[in-house]
Amino acid sequence: MPKRTDIKTVMILGSGPIVIGQACEFDYSGTQAIKALKKEGYRVVLINSNPATIMTDPEFADATYIEPLVPEIVEKIIEKEKPEAILPTLGGQTALNLAVALAESGVLSRHEVELIGAKLPAIKKAEDRRLFKKTIQELGLDLPQSGYAYSIEEALKIANKIGFPVIIRPSFTLGGVGSGTVYTREEFIEASAFGLDASPIREILIEESVLGWKEFELEVMRDTADNCVIICSIENFDPMGVHTGDSVTVAPAQTLSDAEYQRMRDWAFKIIRAIGVDTGGSNIQFAVNPNDGRMVVIEMNPRVSRSSALASKATGFPIAKIASLLAVGYRLDEIPNDITKKTPASFEPTIDYHVVKIPRFAFEKFTGADQTLNTAMKSVGEVMALGRTFKEALQKAVRGLEISRHGLGADGLGQTKRVEKALKEGGRFYEELLDEIKYKLRTPNCDRIFSIKCALDLGLSISDVVELSKIDRWFIKQIKEICDWEKKIPGLFGLSGEEKRDFLFKTKQHGFSDHQIGYLTGRAPDDVRKLRKRLGVIPSYKLVDTCAAEFEAYTPYYYSTYEREDELKPSKRKKVMILGAGPNRIGQGIEFDYCCVRGVLSFAEEGYETIMINCNPETVSTDYDISDRLYFEPLTAEDVLNICDKEKPDGVVVQFGGQTPLNLVPALSKAGVKILGTPPASIDIAEDRKRFVKILKKLKIPQAESGIAFSYEEAKRIAHKLTYPVMVRPSYVLGGRAMKIVFDDPMLKEYVGEAAKVSPGKPILVDKFLDNAIEVDVDALSDGRDVYIAGIMEHIEEAGIHSGDSACVMPPHTLTPEVISMIKRHTTNLAKALKVRGLINIQFAVKDSVVYILEANPRASRTIPYVSKTTGVPLAKLAAKIMTGKTLKSILPAEIIKNGIQEIKYVAVKEAVLPWTRFTNIDTVLGPEMKSTGEVMGIDADFGRAFAKAELAAGSVIPKSGTVLISIGPRGKNEALPIVKELIHLGFKIIATKHTAEFIRQYELPVNEIYKISEGRPNVIDVIKNKEVCLVINTPSGKASRADGYHIRRSAVIYSVPIVTTLAAARATVEGIKARKSTNWSVQSLQEYHKNEKKIKPKQ
Amino acid sequence: MKTKTSSHKSDMILRDAFFKITGKTMKKTSINAATQGKAILALEDGKIFTGNSIGADGESFGEAVFNTSITGYQEIITDPSYYGQIITMTHTHIGNYGISPEDMECAKVWAAGFVVREASTITSNWRSKQSLQEFLKFHNVVAVEGIDTRALTRHIREAGAMKAVLSTQDFNGSSLVQKAKKSKGLVGMDLVKYVTCRQKYVHENRKKGKYRYRVALIDCGTKANILNELAVRGCEIHVFPASAASTDILNIKPDGVMLSNGPGDPAAVKYVIETVRKLLQHLRSNPGPAIFGICLGHQMLGLALGGDTYKLKFGHRGANHPVKNVETGKIEITSQNHGFCVNPDSLKGKDVKLTHYNLYDGTLEGFKHRTLPAFCVQYHPEAAPGPHESKYLFDRFIELMERKK
């Protein structure tokens, strides 16, 4: 069947902000969908609240709405754009839930819009666990025993029938929130209560535990003619019990015989047909009992998923693109396979390499969080690696993680020194370490893969490790082979001639990095590299071709390995290499992928051949049709230099991929690789505090006073000189790690103790903290001569809260023209002094009309996509053009360079999205350490409306009326007063804790007092639980009432009551409330916003 | 084709009892990789690949081919259709789940040699009774690991399947290349005679029940799963040696005749073609028996109808080829293993309807006679290894037999 002609306009639902469980894989899938459907001639309307995405770049969809993903807003867009169809299967669980809401609320029928890809009954059958179970049982397929409960009593009854341990899964939650395995009755009662609350329909499933069983996933596709194919099989290294997003996974499945695999495949087809997913991709999970082969169905996602993105990158089969084409009526055999060009998409990819995915965690950001892995996802990103063997792929994946490891051990880091010591000393130290490692094998955690290595090094047998971890023996044996080979490596330099070459070659085949070989032989990594090159032990590059070389492939998607044949044929064209951002983590996410992709497209426009290197399977940049050549490789000096040796690029671009490529600059420069854009020397200055301060002095840019302390006494002396509060941090960390604002001597003493523990002998930096200063982010573009101030963003939260966690607004709404021109002057001067060619981001703090500089980064910042989408000036694209040698004047009109963003007649608010619900036992207050995983943008005519939209998009509904719970710490009561007055004026009732209530009463304002937790019932927690309040304003205070504050904040998060923890945010919320009360939502596409700002169209 | 002494005869007689054989001989021992010696694969065009031996010592000649299946190595090496071929698996980790008695397609390994990137030194599967290496040694198969199998595959793709030798004895490259050149190829060779059963027997159905159909299977090297698929559908299977005359076959009054898979050049198996021609002749004046051909059986039917066959450059071997069923419009992902093809043009005017074709290269994958109850497919509906969606063809065979009853 050819494509449908009754559809003209398709609306695509995005997945909203990056959250744990839903990351940039849906930018990848959505971007593919837009490109595919546009190419087919459809008009594409996109809605997504996440400005950091590539899909929301206005050059992709025909109409791009950065609006909250809620039914009432979507309906407004439907009214305006009149799509015939909505494609909800590419925007993760968010889009699917939104589609259900639109269908059930009658929006779709009211506007005669059809769901394509998956219809409502199919979504419900897959998503509603009861319907799913019934469907599977009717097919005669096996599932774990289970039952549904709506109360704790019912839940207990079911659990007693099944027997502990059991798994609890709340219905309709994202990424398994509230899911978990419980072993005892006590745990069970607590977990059931939480699960019932987490589920929007107060329903939980209690399930037989299949803990320790092998876990598999199949990626299935189906077309309108009922043709089904499996794209990829995935085996979880971590057995059942760990969320697949938190598991190390491999493709293809390794421990299934053909008989077992085909049975699984048969079941998958039966399931996709019975669920009724009419077209597109689905992900189906199975568990297999390793002892008798019993297979059970675990779950199904009737949509493109994180695993689909992984499967696409693992095989070269573009699942999202094909799913989009199938949704508009094409059949699999009507779509060509891009890679072979000659064969159709109606086949099953086969692969002749091994794929390993390892999740990236961010527990260091959430001190106190439970690090045990279970069925609720906790990782924030992932890295994928390809190799000819599991061993090679695993070691590549580890070094791609950017956790300072150079492979699986053998690098002197992590536990390796302790293992070495234990082996040398034996005795108690050995026993203690062994016990610790055994515990880590039993309890799934983010370091388990390293613990396996340690356990084997310490002499545990394969069977011991299997017994403790339940991980399949095949995987453990592979790791054992790595351990065994490692033992031979110290003898490398004793070998000679052919023997040495062969041994080194085989060592590389085992995935060992130059760094590891250097560590084991007592040489510098660079010496190993030189030896390799001298002996001709260099990687060969093989193609990802979907067909195991059966057909000629045309798609330039490569991975490195050590084999006889190299398939790479580098061209002689002028070319640039763009380094990606690696795995998503807190502080470095999708924003940088946006910059990389826009950069790549721009270089291509300028006639360059583009080479992309990245190792994050969720991204658009690792889509093989973005760049001319894609290398799916770890971003380490060794791996990048190897590619440089082959490709000999004219230049390497390091400013789009965040901190990752910048860290490689010294090694690349040393090897003689040309860095495009801002010179490496300037990058160095910005990273070197001393030299940077010198430049600031010369340019007369004020900076908060500071000092370096090696002891508490010194720190105290500096703090007293600067006067409290001061900001303290260890000297060696970046990105806000372990930063703290300190108000008095005892706090300082405590911190110095903690920090000293983190870095013995390392000094701490003490900065004057600019209390209540306004923080400002600036993005600018420069060619070294002219500077375009692209965006001045005023933070809503005060300085001291990490810029990534603070909401911000463009254009600035409280800064005076004098301050703004001062900011511009400082920015211009600094950009010129640093000889910036491309992008620079500077953070300022404004206090008493003085503009202080906080830091500068001569690279693309987190805010580039937000600024680009707000102003319509594509910054990353223009930065690439400058790097090719173009001047700013040749690409932007002079008056724009001069005036820029002040022309904007609307307001865009960016709000951070925080993973509080993911981590129990952590406080929800913001601070200098970044904790947010994603962001949303609200755009509208004024600040109040834009802010209200941003909050709505972030999942927090600004109320129009109701009761507000207020609890203010001792330092902010006076400032809080106008907010309270305003709220009362707006018709809100106020309840407050004792001291806050007393304070409010002084001003003869109406307030009800509420008990603190220790004072009796009903208390603050009760009113939150019962949703008697619609908003909580709670600012952290000194230690005394910290416990109460903590519980208030946690409760608000758990029971989804909007909460603000700073007075600045409270003020903004009041603005939002005013806007909500006075107007209805209205929507406008980015293209419309930008059209109205006709003057800022860049020159092409 | 091994140059060493072969024990075909005893294997043939016992083929129907292979579960017993393999079950008895399987024992667990560990493989010590360090003791393994060198093995060299030499192609007739001069390419040489050096790796480590993972099988028996010796020297073995065959046609170098590759198979792109990820799973199913055990079924592949025990499939008699691979007789005379040195198989390269394109997937890099082979042997992970060991060897299970249930997965034998025949009592012995038929492949002339086995080439993998990395053989697992551990087995991980609850059914596994033996490691791949032990199995290969037991069955006296020369095998190698540690070569760049992708380079080899690309070479075969570009240069075509060719004669090769795999040796653990001679490490002189040019000597090996000369030997490979001198070895006999596949074209024009009747390999069926080596793999067919020596005498007629009735398949012992483990699930005893009432038989509803009697099927005569002409054994050109049948896979066990063809027998299984027929057996589960209530067939009493009389297995005939490939040399059986049509009269012998018709004598048992079969409801259907199954033409099995098998190795080598179909045009060289003149006697089977003749038998099939006579069976077709019989059908022109009788309502039965229905005829169903698989793989070589498909080629037999094509040749018997007066068509011709040709050799593909490097064949189809894998579990992912899409085949379109022209009658239903549906796509089947198929299990494939053939180096020769029926030329569809040669079937013009033979009263034949072309029913299946390969979506990769457009080659003919199945046809049926317009008036006689005879049909066939080039691929493997019995799977083992490979996808199961083509099993409906066995149901169709049953329907045809039912209709003619």
Nearest to A557 by CA among A546, A476, A935: A546
Higher-confidence residue of A918 and B238: namely B238
Which positions in chain A touch B125 (Cβ < 8 Å)?
Answer: 255-257, 260
Contacts of B174 (CB under 8 A, 6+ apart): none
Kindly give the interhelix angle for A712-722 and A745-758, rounded to the nearest 10 degrees. Answer: 130
Judged by average pLDDT, the poorest of A457-471, A574-588, A606-620, B9-23 is B9-23
Burial of B103 (0-12, 13-18, 19+ CB in 10 A): buried
A77: which residues sit within 8 A by CB, 6+ positions away? A11, A45, A47, A65, A67, A1083
Confidence of residue A756 (pLDDT cuts 50, 70, 90): low
Q: Does the pLDDT value for residue A704 go beyond 80?
A: yes
Q: With cut-offs at 50, 70 and 90, classify the pLDDT of residue A814.
A: very high
- With pLDDT > 70 as the criterion, what percentage of chain A qualifies? 96
DSSP 3-state of A377: coil
Arithmetic mean of pLDDT over chain B:
90
How far apart are alpha carbons A857 and A859 in whole angstroms? Answer: 6
What whole-number distance in Å separates Cα of residue A225 and Cα of residue A220? 15
pLDDT at B21: 36
B295 is an active site residue: yes
Q: How many CB atoms lie within 10 A of CB A671?
A: 14
Q: Is the pLDDT score of B206 beyond 80? A: no
CA distances for B6 relative to A517, B13, B23, B139, B176, angstroms: 48, 14, 22, 11, 22
Res. A158: pLDDT tops 70:
yes
Report strand pairing: B256-259 vs B290-294.
Answer: parallel
Q: What is the dihedral of CA A783, A788, A794, A798, to 10 degrees?
A: 30
Say what the pTM is. 0.94
Residue with tokens 């099939």: B276
Residue with tokens 């603005």: A1071
For residues A300 and B331, give the distance between their C-alpha atoms in angstroms, rounded to a whole number: 24
Q: Of A198-202, A489-493, A535-539, A774-778, where does mean pLDDT reach its minimum? A: A198-202
With tokens 């080039």, the residue in question is B378
Interface with A, mutate which of B65, B103, B331 (most A CBs under 10 A): B331
Question: Is A262's CB within 8 Å of B383's CB?
Answer: yes
List b or e across A378-408, with b for residues whose CB sees 16 or more CB atoms inside 10 angstroms: bbbbbbbbbbbbbbbbbbbbbbbbbbebbbb
Q: Return the axis-axis angle of helices A525-535 and A637-647, rounded to nearest 10°.
A: 30
A387 neighbors A540 (Cβ within 8 angstroms): no
Residue A113 contacts residue A105 (beta carbons within 8 Å): no
pLDDT at position A212 over 80: yes
CB contact (8 A) between residue B359 and residue A347: yes
AA identity, residue B44: E
3 state SS for A648-683: CCCEEECCCCCHHHHHHHHHHHHCCCCECCCCHHHH
**Does an H or E element contain B119, and which?**
strand B118-119
- A59 CB within 8 Å of a chain B CB: no
| pLDDT class of B338 with cuts at 50, 70, 90 | very high
pLDDT over 70 at B318, yes or no: yes
B220 is catalytic: no
Look at B93 and A354 and tell me if their CB atoms are within 8 Å: yes
Q: Which residues 658-677 of A have a C-beta within 8 angstroms of B?
A: none
What is the three-class DSSP state of A538? coil
- C-alpha angle A852/A857/A859, rounded to 5°? 145
Q: Which of A659, A649, A670 is closest to A883 using CA atoms?
A: A649
Please tell me the distance from the alpha carbon of residue A937 to that of residue A866, in angstroms, as a whole number: 8
pLDDT at A903: 66
The answer to whether A388 contacts chain B (CB < 8 Å) is yes
Q: What are the structure tokens assigned to A332, written together?
A: 């699999």
8 Å CB contact between B326 and B284: no
Interface touch A347/B330, C-beta < 8 Å: no
State percent of chain B over pLDDT 70: 90
End-to-end CA distance of chain A: 40
- Smallest Cα distance from A840 to chain B, Å: 45
Whether B382 is catalytic:
yes
Cβ neighbours of residue A789 closer than 8 Å, sequence gap 6 or more? A778, A780, A823, A824, A827, A828, A900, A901
Mean pLDDT across A674-702: 92
Closest CA to A1062 of A1054, A1070, A1027: A1070
* pLDDT on residue A57: 97
- Kindly list the residues from chain A whose CB atom is less than 8 angstroms away from the CB atom of residue B157: 549-552
Residue A766 has a CB neighbour count (10 Å cut-off) of 26
Q: What percent of chain A has pLDDT over 90?
A: 77
- First and final CA of chain B: distance in angstroms? 43
Q: What is the DSSP string of A713-775?
A: HHHHHHHHHH-S-EEEEETT--TTTT-EEE-SHHHHHHHHHHHHHHSTT--EEEEE--TTPEE
User: Above 50 in pLDDT, residue B17?
Assistant: no
- Six-digit token string for A353: 């390499």
Q: Does residue A451 contact residue A440 with C-beta atoms inside 8 Å?
A: yes
Q: How far is CA A50 from CA A15, A26, B170, in A?
A: 8, 11, 65
Report which residue type is found at A685: I
In contact, A859 and A46? CB cutoff 8 Å: no
Chain B residues touching A473 at Cβ < 8 A: 122, 124
Local confidence band at B34 (pLDDT 50, 70, 90 cut-offs): very low
pLDDT band of residue A581 (cuts 50, 70, 90) is: very high
Mean pLDDT of A352-380: 91
The residues, any chain, with a CB within 8 Å of residue A389's CB and separated by 6 or more, are: A354, A478, A509, A510, A511, B92, B93, B117, B118
Q: So what's the pLDDT on residue B207? A: 63
pLDDT digits (tens, 9 = 90+) for B112-154: 999 999 999 999 999 999 999 999 999 999 999 999 999 999 9
Q: Which residue is listed with tokens 């024990």?
A: B7
Is residue B234 very low, low, confident or very high in pLDDT (cuts 50, 70, 90)? Answer: very high
Write down the pLDDT at residue A1039. 52
Asked if A348 lies within 8 A of B100 by C-beta distance, the reply is no
pLDDT in tens, A98-107: 999 999 999 9
What's the token pair of residue A542? 């093989």
pLDDT at A737: 67
- Chain A: give the shortest CA distance to residue B152, in Å: 9
- Which 3-state string (H, E, C) describes B122-174? CCCCCCCCECHHHHHHHCCCEEEECCCHHHHHHHHHHHCCEEEEEECCCCCHH
User: What is the rounded CA–CA span in Å between residue B126 and residue A214?
Assistant: 12
The sign one gets for the Cα dihedral A512, A515, A518, A522 is negative
Residue B228, phi then psi, degrees to nearest 5 = -60, -45
pLDDT band (50, 70, 90) for residue A734: low
Cα–Cα distance for residue pair A1012/A834, rounded to 1 Å: 54
Which among B106, B197, B220, B295 is annotated as catalytic?
B295
Q: What is the pLDDT of residues A313-347, one digit of tens each?
A: 999 999 999 999 999 999 999 999 988 888 899 99
Output the average pLDDT for chain A. Answer: 92
Dihedral sign for Cα atoms in the order A628, A634, A639, A640: positive
Integer CA distances (angstroms), A472 to A464, A468, A991, B126, in order: 12, 11, 56, 11
**CB–CB contact A258 B386 (8 Å):** yes
Angle between helix axes A258-275 and A129-138 (nearest 10 degrees) is: 120
Q: Which of B68, B390, B149, B324 is nearest to A315 (CA)?
A: B68
User: Which chain B residue's Cα is nearest to A270?
Assistant: B389
pLDDT of res. A1021: 87
Nearest to A108 by CA among A127, A90, A83, A125: A83
Q: Which two tokens stand for residue B93?
A: 């980790």
Mean pLDDT of B23-47: 66
Chain B hits for A261, Cβ within 8 Å: 70-71
Q: Does A461 touch chain B (CB under 8 A)?
A: no
- Residue A787: enclosing H or E segment and its boundaries? strand A787-798
A113 Cβ neighbours under 8 A, 6+ residues apart: A11, A78, A83, A84, A85, A86, A102, A107
DSSP string, B264-323: S-GGG-HHHHHHHHHHHHHHHHSS--EEEEETHHHHHHHHHTT--EEEEEEEEEEEEEEE
